[in-house]
Amino acid sequence: MTDTRLPLYAQAATTLSADSLAVTPAEMHGLIAGMLSGGMALEDGGWLTMLYDYTNQGMGWPTEAKTLAMQSYHQLKTQLTGDDLDLDIYVPDDEQVGVVARAEALVEWINAFLAGVGLIGKQGRQLSNDVTEALSDLKAIAQLGIDEDGDMQEQAELLEQVCEHVRVCCMVVHAELGARPDADETPKTLH
């Protein structure tokens, strides 16, 4: 399976902005991750319709922005359903922006993730204590603020710890609610 690489965050932001979309790369990526983690069917193309409805009043996206969304979808699908138990959160690198802007992008990603889970949300579904706690943690983290008067190096280190906790929370949600690829490899009986 190929490793889908997303463009630099600033490049993605420029693409979305140039296409007059009022969505950040973090929001786009978080929304798709939330839909996948909430149980959206993996091969159902309906995710694009939901993305358009949520971000652009139901209007389709121009080609470059749609390509970016497709890349995000394929990357997330591979990460969330693979064996690596890895999830990249699409926010700018520290080298690109300061810790405050990175924290703001993380909050955008989390809020969009929660919205994506909610869009797919199966009404009446009983959630485990682990998923309930993970969703609660994400809601609390979305209230995140950076102490701009504090030591920025320390704030950056704390933000990295928070990012890791967000990854774990998202993986917990996906582990219970997310769709899995069809198991094509059923055990074969040897005679």
Q: What is the pLDDT of residue 124?
A: 65
**Tens digit of each residue's pLDDT (9 = 90 or more) over 51-85:** 999 999 999 999 999 999 999 999 999 998 887 77
Residue 179 banded pLDDT, cuts 50, 70, 90: confident
- Beta carbons of 37 and 178 less than 8 angstroms apart: yes
CB 44 within 8 A of CB 37: no
C-alpha R_g of the chain: 17
Domains of the chain are 9-177 (1.20.120.740)
pLDDT at position 115 is: 95
Question: How do residues 14-25 score in pLDDT, each as one tens digit?
Answer: 999 999 999 999
Determine the Cα–Cα distance for residues 40 and 31; give it in Å rounded to an integer.
12
pLDDT at 41 exceeding the cut of 90: no
pLDDT higher at 82 or 182? 82
Average pLDDT of the chain to the nearest whole number: 87
Q: Considering only 17-26, 100-109, 113-122, which range has the smallest mean pLDDT? A: 113-122
pTM of the predicted structure, to 2 decimals? 0.89
Q: Write out the E strands in the chain.
A: none
Asked if the model's pLDDT at residue 42 lies above 80, the reply is: no
Band the pLDDT of 123: cuts 50, 70, 90.
Answer: low
The pLDDT tens digits of the residues spanning 130-173 come to 999 999 999 999 997 877 777 888 888 999 999 999 999 999 99
Confidence of residue 191 (pLDDT cuts 50, 70, 90): very low
Nearest Cα to 29, choosing from 3, 9, 45?
Answer: 9
